[in-house]
């Protein structure tokens, strides 16, 4: 099994984070995923995914704070 790539946005400017995250999502092939590492709960990002990619993404919390959140975001078949 291939390990998911990680995208750690904790050091990125907040204004750049969503562009990086969506760019990574759009680069995925069907069936692939990546792990987002963030310094806060990315719940607003979830709502953006739900609005723009309803039914075309997966979202699984791997770690939920208090200082680091890790979420596996995928492009299911």
pTM: 0.92
Q: What is the DSSP letter of 25?
A: H
Element (H, E) at 38: strand 33-38
State residue 44's pLDDT score.
94
Task: Cis check for the bond before 47: say yes or no (omega within 30 of 0).
Answer: no
What pLDDT band is residue 18 in, cutting at 50, 70 and 90? very high
- In terms of Cα–Cα distance, which of 71, 69, 76 is closest to 39? 69
- Whether the CB-CB separation of 21 and 35 falls below 8 Å is answered with no
* pLDDT tens, position by position, 27-72: 999 999 999 999 999 999 999 999 999 999 999 999 999 999 999 9
Residue 7 has pLDDT above 90, yes or no: yes
- Please report, for the domain that includes residue 42, its CATH number: 3.30.110.40
- The burial of 67, by beta-carbon neighbours within 10 Å (0-12 exposed, 13-18 middle, 19 or more buried), is given as exposed
Residues spanned by the domain of 41: 5-74
**Number of domains into which the chain is organized:** 1
């Amino acid at each position: 099994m291939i390990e998911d790539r990680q995208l750690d946005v904790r050091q990125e400017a907040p204004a750049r984070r969503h562009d990086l995250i969506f760019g990574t999502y759009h680069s995925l092939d069907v069936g692939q995923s990546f792990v987002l590492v963030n310094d806060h709960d990315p719940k607003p990002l979830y709502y953006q995914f739900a609005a723009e990619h309803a039914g075309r993404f997966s979202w699984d919390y791997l770690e939920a704070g208090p200082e680091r959140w890790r979420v596996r975001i995928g492009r299911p078949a």
